[in-house]
C-alpha cells in the first residue's frame, strides 16, 4: 500500500528505497518475471504536495506532459500517477548506471544529451541539475526528471 503524502510503501514485498532528493523518494519495485527488470516509482514528498511546492509540482507535471508529446530521445517511457488531479508519483523503467551497457547506435551519448537539452529548451524548459543517465536493454535515458522547470525570462 502506498501512503499518499508520506512517500512510503508498506506491506509490499520486492520494494526497495533506492534514493531520495528534495522533491521525490525513489523506490525500486522488482519484477516477478524471469528477466528481473523492475520499475522505479518516484513518490512526491509532502513538501512538494502543499503550498508553493504544489505550484512547482503543477508546473513540473505540465512540463513532463509537454515533453512526453515531443518524444525526446532520452526520455524514458513513463506514467504520472495522479490522485485528485494531483501528480503523486512518476513511474519509469529501472536502469543500470553503467555506460558500458549502452548500445553502439547511441554513441556518442553526449550528442544525444545535447539534442535532448536543446529540445527541452526549445519547449521553454530547463534541467536545473546535471543529467543522470541510466540504461535499460542498451537504451539510455534520463533517470531523474525532478529538476525540470520552466525557463524564467
| Mean pLDDT within 81-88 | 77
The total number of structural domains in the chain stands at: 1
Spell out the residues 6+ positions from residue 20 whose beta carbon is closer than 8 angstroms to its own.
26
Cell of 146: 525532478
Mapped onto helix, strand or coil, the DSSP state of residue 84 is: coil
Cα 51 to Cα 39: distance, rounded to the nearest angstrom: 29
pLDDT of residue 14: 79
How sure is the predictor about 52, in pLDDT bands with cuts at 50, 70 and 90? confident
Residue count of the chain: 153
Smallest CA-to-CA distance from 42 within 61, 56, 28, 59 is with 28
| Mean pLDDT within 120-134 | 93
Residue 41 belongs to a domain with what CATH number?
1.10.510.10
Q: Considering only residues 99 and 5, tell me which one the structure prediction assigns the higher pLDDT.
A: 99
Question: Which domain, by its residues, includes 63?
Answer: 2-150
Q: Where are the beta strands (DSSP E) in the chain?
A: 2-3, 8-9, 15-20, 24-30, 38-44, 79-83, 86-93, 125-127, 133-136, 139-142, 148-150
| Mean pLDDT within 137-144 | 92
Pick the range with the lowest mean pLDDT from 22-26, 48-52, 53-57, 101-105: 48-52
pTM assigned to the model: 0.82
Amino acid at each position: 500500500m502506498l501512503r499518499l503524502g508520506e512517500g512510503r510503501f508498506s506491506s509490499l514485498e520486492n520494494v526497495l528505497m533506492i534514493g531520495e532528493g528534495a522533491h521525490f523518494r525513489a523506490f525500486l519495485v522488482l519484477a516477478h518475471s524471469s528477466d528481473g527488470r523492475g520499475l522505479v516509482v518516484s513518490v512526491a514528498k509532502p513538501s512538494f504536495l502543499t503550498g508553493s511546492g504544489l505550484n512547482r509540482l503543477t508546473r513540473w507535471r505540465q512540463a513532463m506532459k509537454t515533453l512526453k508529446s515531443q518524444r525526446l530521445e532520452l526520455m524514458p517511457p513513463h506514467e504520472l500517477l495522479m490522485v485528485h488531479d494531483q501528480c503523486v508519483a512518476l513511474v519509469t523503467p529501472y536502469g543500470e548506471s553503467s555506460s558500458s551497457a549502452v548500445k553502439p547506435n547511441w554513441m556518442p551519448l553526449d550528442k544525444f544529451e545535447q539534442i535532448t537539452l536543446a529540445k527541452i529548451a526549445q519547449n521553454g524548459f530547463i534541467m536545473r541539475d546535471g543529467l543522470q543517465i541510466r540504461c535499460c536493454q542498451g537504451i539510455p535515458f534520463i533517470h531523474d526528471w525532478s529538476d525540470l522547470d520552466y525557463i524564467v525570462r
